[in-house]
Amino acid sequence: SQKIEQNSEALNIQEGKTATLTCNYTNYSPAYLQWYRQDPGRGPVFLLLIRENEKEKRKERLKVTFDTTLKQSLFHITASQPADSATYLCALGFNKFYFGSGTKLNVKP
Partner 1 sequence: DAGVTQSPTHLIKTRGQQVTLRCSPKSGHDTVSWYQQALGQGPQFIFQYYEEEERQRGNFPDRFSGHQFPNYSSELNVNALLLGDSALYLCASSLAGVSGANVLTFGAGSRLTVL
**Cβ-contact 38, 13 below 8 angstroms:** no
**Of the residues 32, 61, 74, 78, which one makes contact with partner 1 according to CB under 8 A:** 32
Q: Which residue of 29, 41, 53, 60 would you call a contact of partner 1, by CB under 8 A?
A: 41
CA pair distance 65, 91, nearest whole angstrom: 14
Q: Is 98 in the site for partner 1 (CB under 8 A)?
A: yes
The site for partner 1, by CB under 8 A, has a size of: 26
Contact between 93 and partner 1 by CB under 8 A: the answer reads: yes
- The span of 14-22, 53-61, 69-77, 100-108 binding partner 1 (CB under 8 A) equals 100-108
**Which residues lie closer than 8 Å to 9 by C-beta, 6 or more apart?**
103
Instruction: With H, G, I as helix, E, B as strand and everything else as coil, classify residue 66.
Output: strand
CB of 89 to partner 1, least distance (A): 5
Binding flag, residue 4, partner 1 (CB under 8 A)? yes
- Please state, in angstroms and rounded to a whole number, the distance separating the CA atoms of residues 90 and 97: 10
